[in-house]
Amino acid sequence: MASSYVTFSTVTPVAITGNNSGGYALSAFTRRCIAPSPNAGRRMFRTSVMAKASTEKAAKKAMEYRKLGDSELNISEITMGTMTFGEQNTEKESHEMLSYAVEHGINCIDTAEAYPVPMKKETQGKTDLYISSWLKSQSRDKFVLATKLCGYSERTAYLRENAEVTRVDAANIKESVEKSLKRLGTDYIDLLQIHWPDRYVPLFGDNYYDTSKWRASVPFVEQLRAFQDLINEGKVRYIGVSNETSYGVMEFVHTAKLEGLPKIVSIQNGYSLLARIRFEGGSLSGKYLVTDLEATKNARLNLFPGFMERYKGSLAKEATIQYIEVAKKHGLTPVELALGFVRDRPFVTSTIIGATSLEQLKEDIDAYLVTEGPLSPEVIADIEAVFRRYKDPSFF
């Protein structure tokens, strides 16, 4: 199935989802809503703008563009995820996918200082460099460029000069932004997000809060003051969070209000048929269910053993099989069902899709521009029936 990976929210959180089948969503936050619960999120104002004319006759609707919270950013309902650029995709392939995405109306590109994935020193930064070389032939002001800085991690210390750990303090934030600007070949970032929190939070498959892992963290006010400095310098336009909890979102919003500091305008958390409750790809396409290993040897979960292992668990596979049956029953492809479900959520502003080929990217985009929506009540009822049996199976 298609992967929705991340969503962007604005200070009334709205989410962005993305990836090829279960991924992230971008949500937006508005001033009217202080409690950033996903249930409090609402659709941002939308304007329908005709995407650049395509030679394909299949496109039946225009790409939609939505205001990201109370920012001045109007982003496409699909965001181009790039975490495979530089690992699974060459520079040429990356450029081809970026161009195809833009030709079909996508105006938001999401990257991160630690990309590509899996994160490692040898390839770090290649994603940004590939985007930069592509941007040289484009008009920078036509795109919303979003990137992410690393939270607390001892494994990403190589990102900093003479550091043993990455943190979300003033020095780390400034160094991260300066290096990102240089790699991307731009003088400003439209949306700067904290990739994961500075404080301890159970992430990336952890099922419970381990009190023994608690640690002192950088105060929220210190983080926001550092972002304020960068905004004042014109290097960053807006800020957001990723892989964040409701507590973290509330603290950022509350602190900004009390101290008169910049407010986060988005949240980029994982959201899909396989991960609806816990904040946290590609598995919903059904490709990991086939017995022909040769056919999926280049798929991310097989290419990198241990990476996102939670999506290969028995319950996740069982749930995926059931969702694929729902898709077949209603004449949909797994991708159309997975992305359609995320697309129709009232709190999702934009879905971040990731692809490793033009064919895959086309299928993802078509799920929005060609497939009729929203999903029918009958489809939703069948989805909910599966959900009642398998709630967030990727975590168990």
Q: Which residues have a catalytic role annotated?
A: 115
Instruction: Compute the Cα dihedral for 120, 123, 129, 134 and give only its sign.
Output: negative
Query: 26 and 244 in contact (C-beta within 8 Å)?
Result: no
Closest CA to 131 of 165, 66, 81: 81
* 3-state SS, residue 341: helix
Residues in the chain: 396
Residues pairing with 12 in the sheet: 10
Closest CA to 237 of 70, 72, 30, 34: 72
How far apart (Å, rounded) are the C-alpha atoms in residues 74 and 189? 15
How distant, in Å, are the alpha carbons of 34, 117, 194, 283 from that of 86?
39, 9, 22, 21
Q: How many CB atoms lie within 10 A of CB 217?
A: 18
Q: How many CB atoms lie within 10 A of CB 65?
A: 22
Query: 19 and 353 in contact (C-beta within 8 Å)?
Result: yes
Burial of 291 (0-12, 13-18, 19+ CB in 10 A): exposed
Closest CA to 119 of 307, 386, 250: 307
Angle (nearest 5°) at CA 44 between 41 and 46? 155
Query: 3 and 338 in contact (C-beta within 8 Å)?
Result: yes
How far apart (Å, rounded) are the C-alpha atoms in residues 153 and 195? 11
Query: 345 and 25 in contact (C-beta within 8 Å)?
Result: yes
| Structural tokens at position 171 | 């020095």
